[in-house]
Structure 1
Amino acid sequence: MQTELALHHWRFGQVLAERLCAGILRISGYTDIQPQAPLGGPDGKKDILVRRDGKCYIAAAYFPTTVSSFTEIREKYKSDLLGVKANKADGFVFLVNQHLTVGERAKLLALGGPHDEIFNVERMRAALDDPRGYGLRLEFLRIPMSPEEQVAFFNTDQQDRIQRLLRDGLKDEEVAARLPTVARLDSSLIKLLHGAMFENYCLSEGSSDFVVPRVRGGRIRAMQTYVVDAEGEGELLHVGLPPEQLEDALASLFGRWRHAYAEAVGADREVVLRTLAWFHHGFVSIMPFPDGNGRVARLILDQAAFELCRRGVAADLTTDRPAYFAALRAADAGDLNPLVERLRAALIG
């Protein structure tokens, strides 16, 4: 909360805002970071020039000291977006210390190209409250590290060095065996994960004296399952696969996922997003468990996104339920684009 408030009520001026944004981009995987004119003067529609995955990006920082409306943010976004064409860049990164919903972020991203990104206040907070961001948080927001955070900061730095050594020293034939657990998902692992999440989950029914288990953690469902719009008029949103098809469907999905994950490692951001969207849709469509399918799917999605593109996925991916289910229905019909765009807008970290 302290980090979010310090960002949202920014009091340190444009110079430090641009320098903070440059640091956030650095810990978020961007390289060759070049602030253009942080001390004032014309910058040619480019606060910061950065690179990632062989592409050049224009980055713009918008840190108003009071709450801005979405209309004001959109106008600033459109103005700074002109720098992409003016500087022959491949994409645009917009950093703003304001709250933006997934829907609002999607509207802004639709104004530009497929490689554009938005760091809103929540995404920047997540980056600065991560061990890799503690140093920036201390320098620019004057928020000291607790003893526990100091340990995490130095441990993370050490682990990053170890991971680089391992990655650089691996031979091709060793890569598959060293892929993380999410890359090697199968039915047994997904049951273990669900069991760990719902081991003691119960739901009171009828009265406070009668409590029955609603979810048997780690057990594939034996009954037909439906998703109904509880917030509307009870519309049937989705029908899960029949129980007798679940094991085969999961085996097929995870088999394809292991190949797709390996191909997505080091791939372009668009390839990663489509891979994640495809798998997320596939899993929630199967609905292997009597309950908790969405929570398991979001946990896997968040971890896989972090591993493949160093970004987490905000919980508000599914907050707008009508838009989320509309994206899933579009994917049912073979169109992943709406789900990809929601996922792109929900990336944080």
Structure 2
Amino acid sequence: MTRTDETWFRLLQWTQGQAPSERLAAHVLSYAGFEDIDPSHPLGGKDGGRDASCSKAGRPWIMAVYFPRDQKTFSDIKAKVESDLAGALKHAPYGLAFITNQELRLSERADLMSLGADADVILDLFHLERVAHILDEPSMAVIRKRYLDIELGPLPISVDLDIIGSVRRLVGGEEVLDWWLEDAAEKARQRRIRSSQESLRNPAAALQLSWMQPTPEPLTEDELEERIERWERRVRLTWPEAEDHLASTAWPGLQFRLRNTGEVFLNDVQVIITISGVRGLQYLHRDRFDQAKLLPPVVPAQKEPYAVDLSFYDELRIADYPVTWKNLDGAVEIILDLRHLRPHPVWESETDDIVLVLNGDAGSADVIARWTVTAQGYGKMYEGPEQTIPVELISFLDSLEQVSELVEPADE
């Protein structure tokens, strides 16, 4: 097994000479954002006091490299910096990038930095720990293999995730419910009175309609009041489910975008997203909105004998559809299962999959999503950066307008 400090150790025990060290240093500078790197004479020759010229942010820099074998004294290192600084000043640079395989303490780094300040030149020190850290970055694996002979292993998982959408919380529903209950009860009373009056005025018509389509006996006033009381209790008890039905049909669902930013094809990719403080609802198209599920009538209408219940189709999914989810205790877990994830094109979910609702009356401005990635051939899990999902407060009436022009309870 390769030791964890192998990069550090091999840099300090450098035996490859000047030319490879200058070429390695050029890669380190390129990683650090330097551009236009132009080596002088890595294989030997007069370099005019610079191992390479380069630029950063449009300003001219000089590169100097010091890769002896084993740790040298600080006086040796300082003498080398002073010499390279003097050579660099001939070219009037903005800064000197000094790349070395030597370990430098904080106080020693400050001492060397003061040399640059005295010469009015920015001194950027790439000391042993800094160089080792850069070379241990996943994107530097090929360079690490070429110059230090440290095996690559599999190229690292490098994936970006975008969660498109928001978490929502319904507001104003209780006020609407109170008005609806009062209004629906009063309309049921008025219908009973009209029905009784119609029966008294035209009993023959009532008998004819009864023969054509059997109808229940009209309720007495006391029977109706008892039914209204039972109905109101049931509606209040099931109101959270009614609000969920409105949210699942009126609100958009989350969508997901996954981008392979690495240089390898990934197979059997699984992304697990955990979002705390929320619960999930199955997204339904707006035409699946049912007014009676939001506020059932006091006296239900007779069911059509040949009516088809389409709710069976709400849970159906395309075979091998890559997005699944489930509610946990106070959180939602979403799983993306992809057979392949290529560097191009970007993968995007095809439909709205899940509607997220904020738990309780939490006043958060956003919620946090944590996610991990695993893939075939990789023995460890990659943990992605946290994602922030905004929280929106959505009016009950505004939501209702999205799915129906009816803002009054059903009369029948």
TM-score range, shorter chain: 0.3 to 0.5
TM-score (norm 1): 0.44
Q: Which has the larger radius of gyration?
A: 2
- By percentage of residues, which structure has more helix? 1
Which fold has the larger relative contact order, with Cα–Cα distance below 8 Å and residues 6 or more apart in sequence? 2
